[in-house]
Amino acid sequence: MKNFEIKIPVERYEEASELNTNDFLLLQQAREASLLAYSPYSGFSVGAAVRLKNGVIVQGNNQENAAYPSGLCAERVALFFASSRYPGIPFEAIAVTARTKARLISEPIALCGSCRQVLSEYEMLHGQPIRIIMCGETGPVVVFEKASDLLPMNFSAKDL
């Protein structure tokens, strides 16, 4: 038996204003999208924005449903729309944020496992790393260089 470690580089910024201009603008778009979320059941409104290699930014937000599992996360709403509208155009980055009336979210918002899986597939498909920017309503930002860092040893087409 041998042990090995998986090390994941993470950038941490104390506040959003420290981000480079492109990432800051993408986060702004995610914040805007969170305002339009349909989240009557959780009251947790998530916004996502995907920047494509052609310069287009696609926004998405969570869409809930009375049959709970029928709803979809903000990230996948944005990613699936981006891929359906611009098939084959690589995704450069995604920004994710959230807001709720219950409290001020001042820590970075994590992506759920299903969204990480979907991101990983597009990253492999396009052969280009997707930068992942996570932030709350306020406070620090964490950035991962690529989707595979968020989901090491993921299941993919190669396993089928």
- Which residues bind to ligand THU, rule: CB under 6 A? 39, 42, 44, 46, 62, 64, 71, 73-75, 111-112, 115
Query: How many C-beta neighbours within 10 Å does residue 64 have?
Result: 19
For ligand THU, the closer of residues 23 and 75 by Cβ is 75
d(CA 37, CA 84): 20
Measured from the CB of residue 81, what is the shortest distance to ligand THU in angstroms? 14
**Which residue of the set 11, 18, 75, 145 is catalytic?**
75
Supply the angle between the helices 113-126 and 74-85 in degrees, to the nearest 10: 20
Cα distance from N-terminal residue to C-terminal residue, the chain: 27
Instruction: Return all residues near 53 (Cβ < 8 A) that are at least 6 apart.
Output: 89, 90, 91, 92, 128
Measured from the CB of residue 75, what is the shortest distance to ligand THU in angstroms? 6
Measured from the CB of residue 21, what is the shortest distance to ligand THU in angstroms? 25
Is 145 a residue of the active site?
no
For ligand THU, the closer of residues 62 and 154 by Cβ is 62
- Residues recognised as catalytic: 75
